[in-house]
Amino acid sequence: MTTEHYHGRLRRPGVRRRVSAAFTAVVIALAAALLAPQPAAADTPWLDVSQDRYASFTVPAAYVQEKLGTVSQVVVEGNFGPSATWAEFGLTRRGDVWSGVLGALAPGLYHYQLTADDTKTIKDPTNSTSVASHPLLSTFLVAGDSARWLVDAPAGTGGAIGTLTYRTGGAQQSALVWTPPGYAAKGPKGYPALFLQSGAGAAATDWLDLGRSKQILDNLSAAGAMRPMVVVLSDADDRQLTDLRKAVADTYRVLRDPAHQAIAGVADGGTQALRAALAKPGQFGYVGSFSGTSAPAIDRKHATATNRGVKLLRLYTGNVTDPAYNPTYRLMKALDRADVRFEFDGVNPDGGANWTTWQENLADFLPRLFQHVSDHRPSPGHQPLRREFTPPPAGTTPTPFVSEGGFVTFETTTEFTNAQHVTVWANIAPGGSWLRVPLTRDGDRWRATIGPLKPWFYYYRLIVDRVAVKDTSNPTTVTSEPMWSTFLLPGPGARLLSDVPAGRGGTVESMTYPSTVAGQDRTALVWTPPGYDPNRAQPYPVLYLQHGSGQSYTDWVEMGRAKQILDNQFLDGDLTPMVVVMGNGNSSNFNRELLENIVPMARARYHISSDPSQQALAGLSMGGGQALGVLRAYPGEFAYVAALSAGFGSGTGVDVAAINNGTKMLRLYVGDRTDFVYPSFLASLTTLDTLGIRYEFDGVTPGPHGWDVWQKNLIDLAPRLFKR
């Protein structure tokens, strides 16, 4: 069997930890002066982060009402999207709280705020962390090996942060200064100095609050991975920088020669660092540009001076979502033409123009300063930058436009020119949960490029000023949910969801039947395998596959990709040739609908078996509950039963012996803690264990109560049928 596996170990609810003051950025005098007053803290934290990296938000509706008035929606805005881009995670009103679970999150630092009805924003008053330049933001750290440099160093082992006040242009300015462990104001030797510049719209304090620069410096210093140095965090412009450097030299034990001075910056700060290297070479011996958005004109006559004076010029950029991506490509070409030596860290495939990326840049850059380094290669996993990224002109192609590397460009038509807030809501969060990514106005349209997304099947809709809208540029349709559009991102990971070559797959037909329960004709979809022979001697086994609440018989084909999954598994030789009947489960009495209407019509029309050992019944959510209901009421009628994201219910009136004797396989599936049935599902396992009912459970399927999970469940289930 070559079936891909998507399941993980069952995680019983474990100990949860609250976001604590340990994650608070270093408090300094300048930051304290900038902080706005915060609402009084509530008793219960709004955010819990589990040890397995799930963030649970629980926001009291009364607090929202008190601060913002009556609202129709509440979202958590934060750097949750692909490439750590800004995205909105919608909360659901349940009783007296707005709540939701997001994860499993990648290790790293997250920042967020709460927004209601697109425009009304509040800080989480229960989270003591703060961002000086953006008083409504809170932060939390998700621990993990990839974020090892971001954790607080053990008490007493780190450097110190101080504030330097200096005069420039007749005014007083401030900068922040990190001094290494063991630094003393007097001593025989000076220290090298690094000037870290912030970009437009950022403040020097962002290097601490969002960049975690103190933690990175402390940890690299403790590991012996960097030279002891003085690091200056600044938002000084070019003119102010001259005065700042003098003030630093007058106040701290730093070496003044260019060979012991370095400069780096993010975004516009990266551009500033480039100017120091290329326009006025000889000021700094080490230069780093983290997502520099532009570059000065490169004069070939400066090349000799630059190469002589600059020991290291290292360029960094994120992926195509980083505005620096194309400028970096053009800069590298210009540097090559001018014979200027430089290093390129490669394209960070998972990084955008944000602090998550720049934290990694800083951790790579620091160990290269003021010492010999033998490894000048890009960071592991980073990629070459071979060409500029240019999406097709507006209005020239159906959306979304899928480009190399898993990047997807969404674009509206011109009908929303006057809209105020437009997002694309899609299953792009971890495990296939849903996030809303803001689009930006592009002429008379709205547009955004998102990614990288893994190869898989995606569905989305536009949210325009809080109203769901179909992307009319996308010809795909979902019968039961008309606002959704779909697209497939091809790749090895999505192979089983992809169309097989023409003429090699099975056939999907409509089967109309009179329903004695509904009192009208109803329809089912039926998949027959390639080479289906209605006259063969042995009837085909049959799987009755049911949808969930709010869905219909079309959903397993349009959203579940059942045809593609079954076609591919059949061609792989993993599937027992069978007929699959996808009926309409929206019924007041499903047991009767199935046994009196769907099953008899399927037997009359298709060459399928009536032997219980050759019959299977499975369903998702409501359909899973229906399958288990049939199992309880008619044990032994279907030898194979599966429930996807559904609970068994109580143990009252259950004929355990009949179920165990008549069922060859009872297989259960559930998503992770983002699946709202997860708690009741765990309770069902206890019920089954107590009753002594035999079942199979392969562990949670990462993902929510959604199609990403159920597609993987069908991939796992179908090859197991009719083989016992």
At 638, is the pLDDT very low, low, confident or very high (cuts 50, 70, 90)?
very high
Q: What is the pLDDT of residue 320?
A: 97
Q: Please state the rounded mean pLDDT for residues 203-225.
A: 97
**Gap between the Cα atoms of 180 and 213, Å rounded:** 12
Identify whether residues 503 and 470 lie together within a single domain: no
Q: Is residue 373 part of a domain?
A: no
Instruction: Quickly list DSSP for 639-663.
Output: SEEEEES------TT--HHHHHHH-
Q: What is the pLDDT of residues 147-179, one digit of tens each?
A: 999 999 999 899 999 999 999 988 999 999 999
Provide the 10 A C-beta neighbour count for residue 129. Answer: 21
605: left (phi over 0), alpha (psi -120 to 50) or beta: alpha
Domain boundary among 456, 475, 495: 495
**Gap between the Cα atoms of 568 and 556, Å rounded:** 16
Assess whether pLDDT exceeds 80 at residue 299.
no
Supply 235's token pair. 């938002």
Sheet holding 97-102, edge to edge: 16-18, 47-50, 55-60, 97-102, 92-94
- Nearest CA to 561 out of 469, 471, 651, 476 is that of 476
Residue appearing with tokens 């403040």: 203
Distances (CA, A) of 379 to 238, 346, 384, 451: 30, 7, 11, 20
Domain boundary among 368, 384, 418: 368
Query: Do the Cβ atoms of 147 and 43 come closer than 8 Å?
Result: no
At 279, is the pLDDT very low, low, confident or very high (cuts 50, 70, 90)?
confident
Phi, psi of 198 (to 5 degrees): -90, 160
Domain of 258, CATH number, reads 3.40.50.1820
Distances (CA, A) of 231 to 164, 207, 313: 12, 11, 18
Identify whether residues 240 and 271 lie together within a single domain: yes
**Gap between the Cα atoms of 88 and 439, Å rounded:** 12
At 188, is the pLDDT very low, low, confident or very high (cuts 50, 70, 90)?
confident
Q: Is residue 104 part of a domain?
A: yes
Identify whether residues 309 and 202 lie together within a single domain: yes
The sign of the torsion formed by the CA atoms of 306, 191, 174, 199 equals: positive
At 282, is the pLDDT very low, low, confident or very high (cuts 50, 70, 90)?
confident
Residue appearing with tokens 């192979």: 495
Query: Do the Cβ atoms of 92 and 705 come closer than 8 Å?
Result: no
Query: Do the Cβ atoms of 638 and 661 come closer than 8 Å?
Result: no
With the CA atoms of 8, 9, 14 and 15 taken in that order, what torsion angle do they form, in degrees rounded to the nearest 10? -70
Identify whether residues 408 and 440 lie together within a single domain: yes
Residue type, 460: Y
Q: What is the pLDDT of residue 486?
A: 98
Q: What is the pLDDT of residue 635?
A: 98
Angle at which helices 213-222 and 355-365 cross, to 10°:
30
Q: What is the pLDDT of residue 484?
A: 97
2-6, 224-228, 332-336, 683-687: segment of lowest average pLDDT: 2-6
Assess whether pLDDT exceeds 80 at residue 16.
no
Strand 92-94 vs strand 507-515: parallel, antiparallel, or unpaired?
A: unpaired
Query: Do the Cβ atoms of 568 and 574 come closer than 8 Å?
Result: no
Identify whether residues 330 and 295 lie together within a single domain: yes
Q: Is residue 532 part of a domain?
A: yes
Q: What is the pLDDT of residues 383-402, one digit of tens each?
A: 999 999 998 888 888 899 99
What element of type H or E holds 686?
helix 678-691
**Gap between the Cα atoms of 117 and 67, Å rounded:** 13
Q: What is the pLDDT of residue 187?
A: 87
Q: Is residue 21 part of a domain?
A: yes
Identify whether residues 421 and 552 lie together within a single domain: no
Q: Please state the rounded mean pLDDT for residues 615-620.
A: 98
* pTM for this prediction: 0.91
Instruction: Name the percent of the chain lying above pLDDT 70.
Output: 94
Q: What is the pLDDT of residue 555?
A: 98
Domain boundary among 82, 116, 143: 143
Q: Is residue 377 part of a domain?
A: no
Tell me the average pLDDT of the chain.
92
Assess whether pLDDT exceeds 70 at residue 655.
yes
Query: Do the Cβ atoms of 46 and 57 come closer than 8 Å?
Result: yes
- Nearest CA to 554 out of 531, 576, 528, 527 is that of 527
Identify whether residues 705 and 574 lie together within a single domain: yes
Provide the 10 A C-beta neighbour count for residue 421. Answer: 17
At 31, is the pLDDT very low, low, confident or very high (cuts 50, 70, 90)?
very low
Q: Please state the rounded mean pLDDT for residues 393-416.
A: 93
Q: Is residue 383 part of a domain?
A: no
Query: Do the Cβ atoms of 233 and 209 come closer than 8 Å?
Result: no
Query: Do the Cβ atoms of 210 and 23 come closer than 8 Å?
Result: no
At 3, is the pLDDT very low, low, confident or very high (cuts 50, 70, 90)?
very low
Identify whether residues 524 and 488 lie together within a single domain: no
Phi, psi of 570 (to 5 degrees): -65, -45
Distance from the Cα of residue 178 to its chain's centroid:
33
Identify whether residues 450 and 356 lie together within a single domain: no
Query: Do the Cβ atoms of 309 and 281 come closer than 8 Å?
Result: yes
Q: Is residue 541 part of a domain?
A: yes
Domain of 34, CATH number, reads 2.60.40.10
Q: Which domain holds residue 213?
A: 150-368
Identify whether residues 481 and 528 lie together within a single domain: no
Q: What is the pLDDT of residue 35?
A: 35
Distances (CA, A) of 356 to 119, 209, 215: 25, 12, 14
Supply 549's token pair. 């609440």
Q: Please state the rounded mean pLDDT for residues 23-40.
A: 34
**Gap between the Cα atoms of 448 and 467, Å rounded:** 19
Assess whether pLDDT exceeds 90 at residue 17.
no
Identify whether residues 237 and 363 lie together within a single domain: yes
652 by Cβ neighbours in 10 Å (0-12 / 13-18 / 19+) ranks as: exposed
Q: Is residue 100 part of a domain?
A: yes
Q: What is the pLDDT of residues 331-377, one digit of tens each?
A: 999 999 999 999 999 999 999 999 999 999 999 999 999 999 999 99
Segments of 295-444 assigned E as strands: 312-317, 343-347, 401-403, 407-411, 422-426, 435-438, 440-442
Cis before 452? omega within 30: yes
User: For the chain, how many structural domains are there in total?
Assistant: 4
Assess whether pLDDT exceeds 70 at residue 493.
yes
Q: What is the pLDDT of residues 516-529, one digit of tens each?
A: 999 999 999 999 99
Distances (CA, A) of 474 to 372, 431, 453, 484, 548: 54, 24, 18, 10, 25
Assess whether pLDDT exceeds 80 at residue 8.
no
Supply 555's token pair. 């959903």
Q: What is the pLDDT of residue 42?
A: 52
Identify whether residues 445 and 539 lie together within a single domain: no
Strand partners, 75: 90, 115
Supply 212's token pair. 């975690």
Sheet holding 440-442, edge to edge: 401-403, 407-411, 445-450, 440-442
Assess whether pLDDT exceeds 90 at residue 10.
no
Phi, psi of 558 (to 5 degrees): -80, -35
